[in-house]
Amino acid sequence: MITIFSCPKPFRGHINIIQRNAIRSWTLLQPAPEIILIGSEEGTAEVSKEFGLYNKNEVDRNECGTPLVNSVFAEAEKVARYPLMCYVNTDIIFMSDFLPAVERVLKEKPGSLLVGRRLNVDLRQPLDCSKNWEEFLINLLAKQGKPNYHTAMDYFVFSKGLWDKIPPFALGRTMWDNWLVYGIRAQNIPVVDLSEVTTVVHQEHDYDHYPGGIKALWEGKEAKKNIELAGGYGHAYSLRDTTHRLTKKGLKRKIFMPIVSYYYKIIYQYISS
């Protein structure tokens, strides 16, 4: 069994639609997970009650009011019923192939960190889960789906206490997800990429909810602070830095090439500047 947790944005407009779509998809996973919504943003308590979820509204924030990653993880771990946990951004749809892939990896590599790539689609309407919704999404992905950059990671499957200490990153700003992979690789713990065997859907959206938009997310004060907390771009680990990948034929160890990985980090720094 697994506990899925997330820290939603305010449930307004298009963000309201895609967050509800994501949460609804999690509730349909089998075996049914425990789901925790962290924070007290507009609509979170109401949506938690509607879906029968646990709402942990206490979370530490920075001076801008942004939830801190270390607090989000710590608060979820305090109340989670299961030792296996999954943080996921609240615009991500999981499909029925997700938990079987997790189970396959953990049978062979218990204690690993599991991550993967997302596929971007523009979904504007509520997802009708009373019909063949997975088939609908697969057809939509065939028409417009695009894999995202390997630097962007939207979910992390892990066992409680896997990180020694997470810095107080601003959630949703740059580098925090990359550092999570670095922090585990620094402990010589396997990091497994599920991208080849899972269909993880990211619903595209604008950034009107954040003053300054996407540019500020990457270049603003909070972003600069996250980069500092991470220890610089040398710790910008990504899917390129995973140690294993899950394939249809099983778990495969990757050949790690430090020089290639170094140049990917240089490129990441360039496109982020």
Per-residue pLDDT of the chain (273 residues; tens, 9 = 90+): 999 999 999 999 999 999 999 999 999 999 999 999 999 999 999 999 999 999 999 999 999 999 999 999 999 999 999 999 999 999 999 999 999 999 999 999 999 999 999 999 999 899 998 889 999 999 999 998 887 778 789 999 999 999 989 999 999 999 999 999 999 999 999 999 999 999 999 999 766 655 665 666 666 899 999 999 999 999 999 999 999 999 999 999 987 655 445 544 545 454 444
Phi, psi of 42 (to 5 degrees): -50, 125
CATH of the domain at 44: 3.90.550.10
Q: How far apart are CA 208 and CA 228, in angstroms?
A: 26
- What pLDDT shows up at residue 185? 96
E-only strand ranges, 128-168 = 146-147, 155-159
pLDDT of residue 257: 55
* Nearest residue to 78 via CA among 104, 108, 102, 57: 57
Say what the pLDDT of residue 50 is. Answer: 97
| CA gap 119, 134 in Å, rounded | 14
Tokens of 244: 């294993």
Structure confidence at residue 146 (pLDDT): 80
DSSP assigned state of 24: H
* DSSP conformation letters of 26-44: HHT-SSPPEEEEES--TTH
Give the C-alpha distances (Å, rounded to integers) separating 2 from 27, 64, 160, 187.
12, 32, 11, 23
pTM value > 0.75: yes
Instruction: Please state the domain count of the chain.
Output: 1
Residue 3 φ/ψ, nearest 5 degrees: -105, 120
Name which of 87, 106, 153, 99 is nearest 251 in CA terms: 106
Cis ω on the peptide bond leading into residue 100 (within 30° of 0)?
Answer: no
State the residue for tokens 């309201």: 16
What's the Cα-to-Cα distance from 210 to each of 123, 157, 261, rounded to whole Å?
20, 27, 32
Secondary structure class of 55 (helix, strand, coil):
strand
Contact by Cβ (8 Å): 116, 156? no
Q: CA of 233: how far to CAs of 32, 258, 270, in Å?
A: 38, 15, 10
> Residue 148 has what pLDDT?
74
Q: Which domain holds residue 246?
A: 3-272
**Whole-Å CA distances, 191 to 44, 106, 116, 204, 251:** 31, 11, 10, 26, 11
